[in-house]
Amino acid sequence: MSYLDNIRTFVRVYELGSMSAAGRDLRISPAVTSSRISQLEEYLGVRLFQRTTRNLNATEQGKAFYRGACEVLESVEAAEAQVIEITDRPKGSLYVAAPLGVGRRLIAPQVPAFLAEYPDVSLRLRLTDRKVDLTTEGLDLAYFLGQPEDSNLRIKKIADVQRVLCASPDYVHKRGHPRSGDEIVNGKHECLNLRFPGATEFQWPLMTEAGPKRFRASGRYECDDGDILVDWALAGHGITLKPVFEVADYLKSGALIVVGEETPPEPIQMACLFTHRRHQDPKTRLFMEFISDRIGDAIKHTKLPDQLPR
């Protein structure tokens, strides 16, 4: 297995552009990572990387070898998947990413049941509201809300998620009850916004009588953690746009109330991303099907009741 280990290490160094990053990803020391690359270069008789104190760049030979190395690993993984299918015993580690609200409320509660059913599988669940890169971060699956930007990845749609604009009763009492997007963005209200890397302005997609329209949502409160926005809304600091499943309990209790009801938010797609190679792995496919069925049902049953306080 040493030659395959060397190839796997080379692929991760190439994709991450760093020996130390590849070592962390593979859970091996920097010394072992460097040693594996050196062994591979000695075996092939070429330099795969140009190394300086600050940079690591693939040589032309390294770029050519990467393409072939990926094909070799895909073939090996496909063969391993066929054996696992026959034995019906998926094993190994799964690396899954999801937004904080989705992960905490929908995915994490289902993980124990999945691991109980497949005892030879372990899970590494990474929760973040920032955008992730499956290839460079070594992920098997990434759940997300919205539309993917990378067309090279495969996508499995799970459900359309209903969203809501909401604020605390105390905020509405002090600042007024806006009934539409126009009233929300007229400068009298504080919008609580989820900050993504590279975002220059915030726009809320709302449904109007004339059709979908994007409203510029301005405010002094920004955070890259969606749960913090809920906390701020509960504390009376502004209006937030959230999936219903994240705030349903607060809406039912009256801790949050619906605003902007004349122009409700457009639904947003929930889906998961994966590469073709990852989908061949039985444990990846099983987890995706197991989780997707359950959280799809949970989303469908979490609606915005008409009798909620407004």
Q: What HEC string does the chain produce?
A: CHHHHHHHHHHHHHHHCCHHHHHHHHCCCHHHHHHHHHHHHHHHCCCCEEECCCCEEECHHHHHHHHHHHHHHHHHHHHHHHHHHHHCCCCEEEEEEECHHHHHHHHHHHHHHHHHHCCCEEEEEEECCCCCCHHHHCCCEEEEECCCCCCCCEEEEEEEECEEEEECHHHHHHHCCCCCHHHHCCCCCCEEEECCCCCCCCEEEEEECCEEEEEECCCCEEECCHHHHHHHHHCCCCEEEEEHHHHHHHHHHCCCEECCCCCCECCEEEEEEECHHHHCCHHHHHHHHHHHHHHHHHHHCCCCCCCCCC
Q: Which of 108-122, 148-162, 280-294 has the lowest mean pLDDT?
A: 148-162
> Residue 212 phi/psi, 5° resolution?
-60, 140
**Mean pLDDT, the chain, as a whole number?**
84
Q: Which residue's entry shows tokens 């499995």?
A: 156
**pLDDT category, 305, cuts 50, 70, 90?**
low
Give the separation between CA 145 and CA 271, rounded to whole angstroms: 7
pLDDT (0 to 100) of residue 282? 83
> Domain 89-161+269-300 is of which CATH architecture?
3-Layer(aba) Sandwich (3.40)
pLDDT (0 to 100) of residue 310? 44
Burial of 1 (0-12, 13-18, 19+ CB in 10 A): exposed
Q: Which residue has the higher pLDDT, 126 or 77?
A: 126
pLDDT (0 to 100) of residue 309? 44
Question: Domain residue spans in the chain?
Answer: 2-86, 89-161+269-300, 163-266
Same topology for domains 89-161+269-300 and 163-266, yes or no?
yes
Burial of 254 (0-12, 13-18, 19+ CB in 10 A): exposed
Give the separation between CA 97 and CA 87, rounded to whole angstroms: 28
**pLDDT category, 138, cuts 50, 70, 90?**
confident
Give the separation between CA 237 and CA 167, rounded to whole angstroms: 8
40-48, long-range: CB < 8 A, 24+ apart: 40/6, 40/7, 40/9, 40/10, 43/3, 43/6, 48/10
pLDDT (0 to 100) of residue 151? 58
163-266: CATH class: alpha beta
276 pLDDT higher than 70: no
Which amino acid does the sequence have at 121? V
**pLDDT category, 255, cuts 50, 70, 90?**
very high
Determine the average pLDDT of the residues in 127-145: 84
**pLDDT category, 86, cuts 50, 70, 90?**
very low
Maximum average pLDDT range among 8-22, 43-57, 138-152, 232-246: 232-246
Query: What is the topology classification, in CATH, of domain 2-86?
Result: Arc Repressor Mutant, subunit A (1.10.10)
Tens-digit pLDDT profile for residues 11-44: 888 888 888 888 877 778 888 888 888 888 888 8
Q: What percent of the chain has pLDDT over 70?
A: 88
Give the separation between CA 217 and CA 210, rounded to whole angstroms: 19
Q: Answer whether 0.85 is exceeded by the pTM.
A: no
Q: Which residue has the higher pLDDT, 114 or 87?
A: 114
Q: Which two tokens stand for residue 113?
A: 């049941």
104 pLDDT higher than 50: yes
Q: Which residue has the higher pLDDT, 309 or 114?
A: 114
**pLDDT category, 9, cuts 50, 70, 90?**
confident
Determine the average pLDDT of the residues in 67-95: 72
Q: Which of 107-111, 122-126, 127-131, 170-174 has the lowest mean pLDDT?
A: 127-131
